[in-house]
Structure 1
């Protein structure tokens, strides 16, 4: 049998090395590519064509949602497993909407990641138990609210805005016009009912779209 090929996407080299060692201890698993940004992930995927992508969501600049969306635009059959610190049900659901096939949190036991890689490689879907519980609780209590109305690209722009990037920076990093980003900004505020930009940032953090340890600059005014 040929080896199962894997690409790792995370902006921390030491973390990627840990994943590599864990996965390559499994018989027939081989890491063939690594990337630390959304743009690099897209290029590496096109070059290596791995069987499975293990993708973090918190990347510098455009995040993992944008990377998932871009890869899936190029290859509808791409099998992408999110491996993230985000334990937010809305964020996990947006990852699936963008095209992910699995979602495992970094607080999960190592064997849960290995099982998820195997499941996604077979064409299945996988959720770690903690995020499955979060999604179930959200659905039972209807906590998703206005976030359900946001498209994955809107969530990515919300995340970038909440981390302190200006509209010009977002436009440059996502290859969009400034006017388009401004329109997205207006639409996101309207959908979430945000009264001010500060309120929008507060909503993004409360919804789990920005981790507490992610660097945050002062929000644009």
Structure 2
């Protein structure tokens, strides 16, 4: 069994939090567990410093100071901790706001617990996580990206895998290369797209004519 993913939750919906606390270890066969939670966004940084999670699930819609502010504060205080924003709706505007605040992805709270584990694992591994239906909305009006002519078929294949949330290991298996090669190819792709993260690349892919 691999490393257990330590999850912290910033959410003021007690039933939702309790559900994840009970179901996540069960559906993941012990590979993910909730180590801390709070319904107070103002306490988010203290919770993260105390619990030292691998991943934080943060509800965007919370009482003041709010979920977006909690994401910003966590990223400043613990930049190595990855944050996934969550919401009860699929409003692309709040997803964009969360990404700008430092979240590595966005998940609707309607996600099935059994389907959460792969998403949590790829987020911890450094990849973007978000519903495919939101991608066209994240960069505004669809348009052909200036880098389109620079991408060859291998670049587009890699970009499709990134946009689909595949982990480094999964991409390495798919392309029959090493993890180190995947990281090198990804860095080259990000330079071509003129973006600084996999999150931005994934957001760009579905709406800018790059796939």
Tell me the TM-score normalised to structure 1 length: 0.58
1:131 equivalenced with 2:120 (yes/no)? no
1:86 matched to 2:89 = yes
Q: What residue number does 1:75 align with?
A: 78
The structural deviation recorded for 1:117 is 1.0
State the distance in 1 between where 2:128 and 2:54 align. Answer: 14
Unmatched segments (≥5 aa) in structure 1 = 142-221
Report deviation, 1:61: 1.3
Residues 69, 55 of structure 1: alpha-carbon distance in 2 compared, 3 angstrom cutoff: same
Q: Secondary structure at the match of 1:100?
A: coil
Give the unaligned 5+ runs of structure 2.
144-211
Whole-angstrom CA distance in 2 between matches of 1:88 and 1:43: 29
Classify 1:139/1:89 alpha carbon distance in 2 versus 1 (closer, same or farther; 3 Å). farther
- Indicate how the Cα distance of structure 1 residues 105 and 131 shifts in structure 2: closer, same or farther if over 3 A, else same: farther
Q: Write out per-residue CA displacement over residues 76-125 of structure 1, whole angstroms, 9 at most, x where no aligned residue.
A: 21200112113221211111111000101123444443322111111111
Kindly provide the CA deviation profile for residues 40-64 of structure 1, in whole angstroms up to 9, marking residues without a partner as x.
2211001011000011111111111
What secondary structure does 1:90 align onto? helix
The 5-angstrom pairing of residues 47-196 of structure 1 reads: 47-135=50-138, 138-140=140-142
Deviation at 1:133, TM superposition (A): 4.7
What SS does the aligned partner of 1:32 have?
strand
* Residues 117 and 75 of structure 1: CA distance in aligned 2, closer, same or farther (over 3 Å): same
The count of corresponding residues between Structure 1 and Structure 2 is 140
Moved more, 82-91 or 60-69: 82-91
